[in-house]
Structure 1
Amino acid sequence: MKIQFYLRFFTQYGQSLFLTGNCDALGNNDLSAALPMQYLTDEFWTVTVELGKDFENDLQYSYILKNENGEEIREWGNDRVVEFMKLQVDELTLIDTWNHAGEYENAFFTQPFQEVLFPKHRENKTRTYKGVTHLFKIKAPLLKADEVLFISGSNETLGKWSNAEPLLMHKEDNWWTARIDLSNESFPVAYKYGVFNTKTKTFVQFESGNNRILYDSYGKKKITILHDGFAQLPADGWKGAGVAIPVFSLRTEKSLGVGEFSDMKLLVDWAKKAGMKLVQILPINDTTATHTWQDSYPYAAISAFALHPVYLNLEMIAQKATHPVIKSLKKKQTELNALPEVDYEAVMKVKWAAAKELYQEQKDALHEDAEFFSFFELNRYWLVPYAAFSYLRDKYKTPDFTKWKSHSVYNEHAIQEFVAPSQKHYDEIALYYFIQYHLHLQLLDATNYAHKNGIVVKGDIPIGIYRNSCDAWVEPELYNMSMQAGAPPDDFAVKGQNWGFPTYNWQRMAEDGFKWWRRRFEQMSNYFDAFRIDHILGFFRIWSIPMDAVEGILGYFVPALPVHINEFGQRGLWFDYQRLCKPFINDEVLRELMNGDVEILKPYLNHIGNGQFELKEEFNTQRKVEAHFAAQEQNAQNENIKHGLYDCISNVILFEVEGSQSQQFHFRISVSSTSSFRFLDEDSRRKLDEFYVNYFYRRQDDFWRKEAMAKLPSLKRSTNMLVCGEDLGMVPDCVPDVMKQMGMLSLEIQRMPKDPAKQFFHPKDAPYLSVVTPSTHDMSTIRGWWEEDRTQTQKFFTHELAQTGEAPYYCEPWIVRSIITQHLYSPAMWSIFQIQELLGMNGVLRRENPAEERINVPANPKHYWRYRMHLSFEQLLNEEMFNQELKGYIDASGRG
């Protein structure tokens, strides 16, 4: 069969197009073997292939754009499919429209919309091609339940533009289709798509824009198939509201001191009652590293795949409330549920002991359970290493596998022997299989319940992995274990953040097509419809901190284009290695750092002449200082000295690139705020500042864009979940465009404007493909923030709320209500609120002290994550007046 491909695409000079697909002629989906196309006109590119009779599959194909710089961009989707064996023709013409990933209509073909939110149109998949010359295919994701598309055009067959009795189309998979015989018509043909209501039998509207034109004429034994892209209908009007809350923060009468997966059902009930369409949670992976409260940090998982045992509902495993194990816990359950916050260690101790008892009782039946066997086989690749890692962590009393006496280096064959059923410790290994299986069942049960109630579930995928994790143990080559990931300074953490995670070895990950990431996305899609990528900027560049640093302020972006020593001379700057690359310390610096006490740090310094000092070798890194003071008495003076030395160490202007032989350098972040910078002469400060701005805001932009485009497109293609990126912090100029091109939703926060010229962001200015929210788990709530800075509060009160006079000292319910409604009326696709914010609208229901509502303090790496609702969901579901009030706001804003 002869196949002619025509693609509508307006290319620019230097661009070229390629075709890939599932047959030999198209390279069998090997992108490196894609077929080059030829430029035909300003409107079309084309290529012709011959497909032999031995090809007996449906033909699936897509297009690739190659830019002048070598960058490859695949069109979005994989639903260009031709029923090859049904055609029975000699010639096939395919006329296509490029499907840009950033078209917002594509968002409506993702999992939350297709599987949960949108009504199902009746589909007809059995229609034939007999007597058909042309097959028209078009997408229209936002039609109502009783609406269908029709096609109308300039000739008799297409109804002469009539909309009274139009030619109705049929739904087949993602496409609306019309099989038409145009053999008696002349060409070209003008046509358009429109909307018809089948219930009222009335015309609704034609699509906007110019008429579509079909030039391809009829031929014997020939069929033309048109993939016409999206009908030109209003498609940015759909909006939804959601609630965000960590699972551990849920409170119900049946939970055991902490929120559990089963508690998500009552969260769904309440969200539905209030008119919301989404619930969002924090990461739920196992973080058990130390068996202490420090494991409460949900972004430090010991496995990117294992779920956290803290979310286990024991009664569901026992299958009855009268089970002896469950009955024995009633007193402890009452005690833990009465606490205002989560007692992480107590909860884990109780749940772990009970889970062991239930395993011993059920272990024989478990291994005869077909569902368990299926779960085990599908998840074996991570489940077996995770169980072995967890056992060895406890055996050697450390998650640091480099300190284990055996299996410190992962060997798959050795671990398979280690976990064999014949081993004496097998039950201790299989306990982890048992727990993960039940966590899987319980989370799946909760998310299925959400879907049945029309509620989307949004998860969270951390950017980093824990240094002493199963993932690092199994595949250390995927990570740069010699570096620490974090974030540069911002208003919430003025010395930056050091998460302690290793950074990713992206080059190695690319070698197997980012298999580890694809597996993460695949597993998440079992439970979630959408997910938030924590710190999506990490796919562009990550804030990398040397291992000898404690504070994030000593980091720099990797990858980044360094500055060369010659560039200083070119800018009229004298390069002095000692002055620019070593800590600058003199009496004035010491006086400034230590509030006038010049002598307090002198014992840790050497005098090097000219009134300047250097740190003694035993104190010349932050890790050395940290270790020294860890062995000293813990008091305010020692803490003050320690942080004074930290500040001395970070008082530099440049970091030398390792191995560059003092030829290449990175600028220290916020360099103009250092006393080292301020002690330079005025001309040097001006020139260095210009150089600094160029380094951070211009030099890297195209480089970072290419880095992201080498990773994100293939990762996004591996899932049909709706992807939201947390694009906060020091955002490169290239980020918004890349996310827009990828069709990823951005995050917009009122107190964190992305425009540096603005003090606040107004929700009315949000792009459609975005999520707007007043606050995140890393911030104080509206009420907490209101009391932190009276100057900021007054500006917000005057300019954002358009109020006169002095702002109230406390954030009154009407203020929270005003901010919530601002977000609800935003043009953004989603407005999502922490549950504390929603309760803040009600003076009776909200917590008395807003400081108790905060979930995390990013500036504190040892923060205890223990926030729990003060109300149970049983109570909240009965608050009819409040629930109806909230639903009224949501419905009125068009998000209901």
Structure 2
Amino acid sequence: MTEVTFSIQYNTQPGESIVVTGSIPELGEWEVNKALRLDYRDGGHWLGAATISGDFEYKYAIAYDFGTALTCEFGDNRKCALADGLARAVLQESWRPHEVDTNVLYSSFFVDGALRPAEDRIAPATGKYESGPVVRIVMRCPQVETGDSVAVTGSCAALGDWDEAKALVLSNVDHPVWTGEFNTDAGQEISYKFIIKGKDGKVRCWEEGDNRSLLVSKSFGKGDLWVKSDEFFRFKANWRGCGVAMPVFALRTKESAGVGEFNDIKKLVDWSDKVGCALIQILPINDTVAKQKWTDSYPYAAISVYALHPMYLNMKKMGTLRSETTQKAINEKAKELNALPEVDYEAVMKLKSRFYKLLFDEVKEEFFKDPAYQAWFEKNKEWLLPYAMFSYFRDIYQTPDFTKWGDFSSQTFEQLEVLADPKKDDYTDISVHYFIQYHLHLQLQEAAGYARSKNICLKGDIPIGIFRHSVDAWMYPNLFNMEMQAGAPPDDFAVDGQNWGFPTYKWEEMEKDGFQWWVKRLTQMAEYFDAYRIDHVLGFFRIWQIPMNAVTGLMGYFNPAIPIHIDEIRSRGIHFDYDRYCKPYIREHFLGDKFGEYTDYVKSEFLEPQDHGVWVLKEHVDTQRKAANLLAPTETMSMADRARNEKIKRGLWALHAEILLIEVPGSNKTEFHPRVRMNTGCKSFEELDGHSKSQLYELYLDYFFSRQEEFWAEKARVKLPAIKNATNMLICAEDLGMVPACVPGVMKKLDMVRLAIQRMPPDTTQSFWHPQDTPYLCVASPSGHDMSSIRGWWEEDRAVTQKFWEEILGHHGSAPSMCEPFVVYEVVNQHLWAPCILAIFPIQDIVGMNGNLRRNPPQVEQINVPANPEHYWRYRFHMNMEDLIEETSFNNSFKKMIMDAGRRSAYGTHTQ
């Protein structure tokens, strides 16, 4: 048995004390009430002792006198190994604080990817307990390049007497913790510092700051252990890396078949390794096959949050058909599709689906006997079986809308197990989806492993919503508000807001089991990714909710939210008129502006006159949804009629939006949400009297920018920790749009990396965001998939680019009319030199620096147009990755940019 003394420095607040909770009975076996409580000493010093044998894990925590709750220190459990016969041990340690920027370095993005250690770990240096006191140095340091090592040198012979060549090299067996032992004399004070040594034995860098020190008690002798734990190697600069953004479907290689595939990721890894990128960012890759048309190309409308999209399979890696004639025809068609400038989604899916079914028929008997497949099936059965049955019913009924599946519109897992009995005749049509998903898993797993072997990480994408007609909505209807639609309020890229059509979440229901729907989803994702982007993280604070009878985002409101009560309105001296404030305000004098030559037709067909130039909508178009359905184009309609209907439809939508307040359902006309942007282009607001206008606008500002802040922060603090703790992946959250003031603080507490887009500054008084102003925990990027590339944006508004030319690039005179390569170079270089942890560039912006490699015109480089809900996601990079890899001059130039900016070295400096 060993007498272990825990010693830690921490300044607590009144009512707080420090405890040690751990894996052994002496430390409470992780039970809060049984933890070892330390005693307070002067100067914030806490001490406590327990008699322990063997190895154990533990953590320090703050306990509150008024209850049993604990706030544990940051990070994984500490580990302590006690040798047999050890008499005494002192653990002299430092508190591991939360809200430290470098905490993100302990995510799997770094420890398993970008800073992954070499396979041959460094063996530990051990002291001789029979010779006197042993000191064990413990240093947590993930920021070490593969093959390099942490060493300690200092003022004693065991540490080399400050000779760096004789420094004690520490072991990284327990990566990212570095440890080493040496003998010392009791009572000896030792000064020391940590250094990084390269593979060649040369010192890469010394840590900054004053010398560290330790003093072993004079009472220590043979068989005693003194553990000195240090935190944070004091680097001159924080780790900063570079990444490339490329949707998988946009990848082009000589081996693909009309669309990017998981196998093609390896070529992108090779190029990233060549130039020095540490991260590859992709868009969602889940199965979106719903209507089996090009509209399924939308990657944010997955029919399963688990299943991968079948189009990403490489057919050659799956196998070869027995019929040489059929295989040759498939190969020729694949080659033809691969030569197209864009993705032909329907043709690709038709070709690959045919191949999958033919191959499955040939190999299914052997496939089902494969032990690896059987183990994978059992592990994933909870989602895989419902997904396969959903796909089967979708094909049988020719619709993903499960409400039209008769008796199968609602099913339990147990019922599906019976339906999916292998002995039934239709089992082949069901199990083919197992076959496809297993191969998708193998190919993505191989690509992810290849990336990690090169110290490059894959960054996935988590959509904020689920598709309305999906496996998840079918199996877990209790988790979703199917009568509502999620979207986003208006911004500069979508002036009417966005309506994604997804049902909103029932967060209270999800909370009941600890958000397991999210936890399981993320756990599976961690098999392939070491980082992920949360699409629209603002939805975890509040979602923009749109009723089903509306179409545009203008008709939405925040949920949850503290509404405006009718008493607030009246207390400001406003005469409240429900019809005037809550029903469409339609007047004769502005109808011509909205409908032009169709005004008289609209008045006769869709409007009813009231007194004195007042109009109301007729019942058959009294909601946006009704107008959309009535005026939808048909296959036989002429282009002129299509254009007419589109103009009238949008004009009617604008009339629907001529309201000031949206009633809270069930409030009996007493509670309201203000219509977003009521003060911008809204005739109903413009034509109020001055007093009502000013007072209502004050309520508007209070609603959107003041009263909700703590309320929304508390909602996020309930949900986001469960999301974060589900895995160790690095979380990069997209927080663009109408961002509540509480968001940055909540995200910082959870070590979430924010997004900074140069064209979308968080300060609405600014036109642009300068990369040098980006905080460390941010991803800086000049553009994204929902906007034009640097070059495309440059040509959109001459006045804006002139302002950018002068204010951000610091040039005088007239800006170039076209975005020349040197302009793109300057923008990219600004981002590389930004102080943030990651600078990620769409591949379009990277090659935009080279006049010979860029694609023209730049408008074809935009991946998505958010204002168009029926956009065809078919963009493909115009070069084969094999050819880009061979562009030596360009690649070396980009690599030098990355190196010069300190984004190539783990130590933040140009060391290679």
Matching residue within 759, 775, 783 for 1:751: 759
2:617 alignment counterpart: 615
Residues 25 and 49 in structure 1, CA contact (< 8 A), matched pair in contact too:
no
Q: Distance in 2 between matches of 1:73 and 1:545?
A: 38
Residues 562 and 708 in structure 2, CA contact (< 8 A), matched pair in contact too:
yes
Residues 321 and 359 in structure 2, CA contact (< 8 A), matched pair in contact too:
no
Matching residue within 107, 117, 121 for 1:110: 107
2:903 alignment counterpart: 895
Q: Distance in 1 between matches of 2:665 and 2:34?
A: 40
584-593 or 69-78: bigger deviation: 69-78
User: Amino acid of the residue matched to residue 890 of structure 1?
Assistant: I
Residues 151 and 167 in structure 2, CA contact (< 8 A), matched pair in contact too:
no
1:870 alignment counterpart: 878
2:195 alignment counterpart: 195
1:289 alignment counterpart: 290
2:666 alignment counterpart: 659
Q: Distance in 2 between matches of 1:129 and 1:537?
A: 56
2:652 alignment counterpart: 645
Residue correspondence of structure 1 range 483-882 to structure 2 within 5 A: 483-595=484-596, 599-603=600-604, 604-609=606-611, 611-630=613-632, 634-673=641-680, 674-882=682-890
1:383 matched to 2:384? The reply is yes
Q: 1:196 to 1:463 in 2, by over 3 A?
A: closer
Q: Distance in 1 between matches of 2:67 and 2:845?
A: 47
Q: 1:88 to 1:400 in 2, by over 3 A?
A: farther
- The Cα shift of 1:14 comes to 6.9
- The Cα shift of 1:517 comes to 1.4
- The Cα shift of 1:714 comes to 2.9
Matching residue within 78, 81, 91 for 2:79: 81
Q: Distance in 2 between matches of 1:42 and 1:671?
A: 60
Residues 11 and 42 in structure 1, CA contact (< 8 A), matched pair in contact too:
no
Q: 1:265 to 1:166 in 2, by over 3 A?
A: closer
Q: Distance in 2 between matches of 1:502 and 1:214?
A: 62
Residues 287 and 309 in structure 2, CA contact (< 8 A), matched pair in contact too:
yes
- The Cα shift of 1:388 comes to 0.7
User: Amino acid of the residue matched to residue 863 of structure 1?
Assistant: H
Residues 303 and 470 in structure 2, CA contact (< 8 A), matched pair in contact too:
yes
Q: 1:90 to 1:295 in 2, by over 3 A?
A: same
Q: Distance in 1 between matches of 2:422 and 2:572?
A: 69
1:124 matched to 2:132? The reply is no
Residues 142 and 235 in structure 1, CA contact (< 8 A), matched pair in contact too:
no
Q: Alpha-carbon deviations, 1:684-742, whole Å to 9, x = none? A: 22222222222111212222222222222232222222221111111111222222222
Q: 1:211 to 1:278 in 2, by over 3 A?
A: closer
242-251 or 68-77: bigger deviation: 68-77
Residues 242 and 898 in structure 2, CA contact (< 8 A), matched pair in contact too:
yes
Q: 1:776 to 1:137 in 2, by over 3 A?
A: same
Q: Alpha-carbon deviations, 1:62-94, whole Å to 9, x = none? A: 53577999997543322312336x466677655
Residue correspondence of structure 1 range 249-288 to structure 2 within 5 A: 249-288=250-289
Residues 194 and 207 in structure 1, CA contact (< 8 A), matched pair in contact too:
no
Residues 22 and 56 in structure 2, CA contact (< 8 A), matched pair in contact too:
no
1:469 alignment counterpart: 470
1:311 matched to 2:312? The reply is yes
1:342 alignment counterpart: 343
Residues 321 and 327 in structure 1, CA contact (< 8 A), matched pair in contact too:
no
Q: Distance in 2 between matches of 1:67 and 1:683?
A: 53
Question: Paired residues, what number?
Answer: 888
Structure 1 portions without partners, runs of 5+: none
Q: Distance in 1 between matches of 2:256 and 2:71?
A: 48
Q: Distance in 2 between matches of 1:41 and 1:808?
A: 68
- The Cα shift of 1:16 comes to 6.7
Q: Distance in 2 between matches of 1:302 and 1:265?
A: 27
Q: 1:158 to 1:255 in 2, by over 3 A?
A: closer
- The Cα shift of 1:399 comes to 0.8
- The Cα shift of 1:157 comes to 8.9
**2:483 counterpart SS class:** strand
Q: 1:465 to 1:64 in 2, by over 3 A?
A: farther
Residues 182 and 218 in structure 1, CA contact (< 8 A), matched pair in contact too:
no
Residues 105 and 141 in structure 1, CA contact (< 8 A), matched pair in contact too:
no
1:40 alignment counterpart: 40
User: Amino acid of the residue matched to residue 649 of structure 2?
Assistant: K
- The Cα shift of 1:857 comes to 0.5
Q: Distance in 2 between matches of 1:428 and 1:129?
A: 67
Q: Distance in 1 between matches of 2:350 and 2:327?
A: 15
Q: 1:45 to 1:412 in 2, by over 3 A?
A: farther
Q: Distance in 1 between matches of 2:877 and 2:649?
A: 37
2:454 alignment counterpart: 453
Q: 1:97 to 1:592 in 2, by over 3 A?
A: farther
- The Cα shift of 1:36 comes to 9.2
- The Cα shift of 1:457 comes to 1.7
- The Cα shift of 1:256 comes to 1.1
Residue correspondence of structure 1 range 197-236 to structure 2 within 5 A: 197=197, 205=206, 207-208=208-209, 225-236=227-238
**1:635 counterpart SS class:** helix
- The Cα shift of 1:431 comes to 0.3
Q: 1:678 to 1:429 in 2, by over 3 A?
A: same
Q: Distance in 2 between matches of 1:240 and 1:413?
A: 48
2:908 alignment counterpart: none
Matching residue within 187, 192, 202 for 1:185: 187
Q: Distance in 2 between matches of 1:157 and 1:881?
A: 49
3-12 or 684-693: bigger deviation: 3-12
User: Amino acid of the residue matched to residue 713 of structure 1?
Assistant: P
Q: Distance in 1 between matches of 2:110 and 2:814?
A: 45
Residue correspondence of structure 1 range 38-77 to structure 2 within 5 A: 40=40, 44=44, 46=46, 58-63=56-61, 74-77=72-75
Residues 28 and 34 in structure 2, CA contact (< 8 A), matched pair in contact too:
yes
- The Cα shift of 1:327 comes to 1.6
Q: Alpha-carbon deviations, 1:435-480, whole Å to 9, x = none? A: 1111111112222222233322221121111111011111122222
2:483 alignment counterpart: 482
Q: Distance in 2 between matches of 1:138 and 1:779?
A: 44
Residues 62 and 78 in structure 1, CA contact (< 8 A), matched pair in contact too:
no
Matching residue within 97, 100, 116 for 2:97: 100
Residues 247 and 259 in structure 1, CA contact (< 8 A), matched pair in contact too:
yes
2:909 alignment counterpart: none
Q: 1:423 to 1:219 in 2, by over 3 A?
A: same
- The Cα shift of 1:162 comes to 8.7
TM-score by length of 2: 0.90
**1:747 counterpart SS class:** strand
User: Amino acid of the residue matched to residue 244 of structure 2?
Assistant: V
Q: Distance in 2 between matches of 1:695 and 1:88?
A: 67
User: Amino acid of the residue matched to residue 821 of structure 1?
Assistant: N
- The Cα shift of 1:489 comes to 0.7
Q: 1:592 to 1:775 in 2, by over 3 A?
A: same
Q: 1:34 to 1:351 in 2, by over 3 A?
A: farther
Q: Distance in 1 between matches of 2:512 and 2:42?
A: 37
1:416 matched to 2:417? The reply is yes
Q: Distance in 1 between matches of 2:602 and 2:43?
A: 72
Q: Percent of aligned positions with the same letter in both sequences?
A: 44
Q: 1:245 to 1:163 in 2, by over 3 A?
A: closer
- The Cα shift of 1:491 comes to 0.7
TM-score by length of 1: 0.91
Q: Distance in 2 between matches of 1:822 and 1:601?
A: 52
Q: Distance in 2 between matches of 1:714 and 1:92?
A: 36
